Amino acid sequence: MGVVRFTAAVSIGLAALTPNLVRSEEQSPLAVYTREGDSISAPLEGRIGEGNRGKAIVLDRTTGNCLICHKAPVPSEPFQGELGPDLTGIGARLTAGQIRLRLVDLSLLDPATLMPPYYRVDHLVRVADKFEGRPILDAQQIEDVVAWLAILKDANPDGELSR
């Protein structure tokens, strides 16, 4: 499969061609990324994720709201979803790059997905005012969630960060 460069911005401009270029406020707040098959190998903006923050984002029902559709290996967390895949052991099933693409925009792999794109601002409908022109999660938050999900290699109760 070939390498495809994506930008999640509506207007690409010169900034999309140079990922290290500082973007002005008029340009998209989103980093350019390279999709390789079913993954985005490189961390967004070169950021390093922190698993404890990622776990907090997944469990936070106002930030990521992941548990509305997914079950996480945190039995103490009530009312977990069943629409999306169970996140238990996801790090054994998918690479960090595959997890990253699914968070950024699963519709790149499955146009019929119910999962919202967490790092896209264009071609969306019924967007809440607070998200108009900005992604649900920023690049650091995406990398934090990737860091936590990638360490979930088995049915580790409470999704602790022990490896």
CATH number of the domain that residue 81 is part of: 1.10.760.10
Please tell me the total count of domains within the chain.
1
Q: Which of 47, 3, 15 is nearest to 137 (CA)?
A: 47
**Pick the residue with more confidence: 159 or 147?**
147
Helix (H) or strand (E) holding 32: strand 32-36
pLDDT at 22: 33
Q: Which tens digits make up the pLDDT trace of 40-78?
A: 999 999 999 999 999 999 999 999 899 999 999 999 999
**What are the φ/ψ torsions at residue 140 (nearest 5 degrees)?**
-65, -40
Amino acid at 8: A
Q: CB count, 10 Å around CB of 48?
A: 9
Q: What is the DSSP letter of 86?
A: P
Residue 129: pLDDT band with limits 50, 70, 90: confident
Parent domain of 49: 3-159
How many angstroms separate the CA atoms of 56 and 36, rounded? 28
CB 8 within 8 A of CB 28: yes
pLDDT above 70 as % of the chain? 77
pLDDT at 155: 63
pLDDT at 29: 74
Q: Which tens digits make up the pLDDT trace of 80-117?
A: 999 999 999 999 999 999 999 999 999 999 999 999 99
Amino acid at 33: Y
H-type alpha helices, 62-138: 90-93, 96-105
pTM for the whole thing? 0.78
Residue keyed to tokens 């049915």:
155
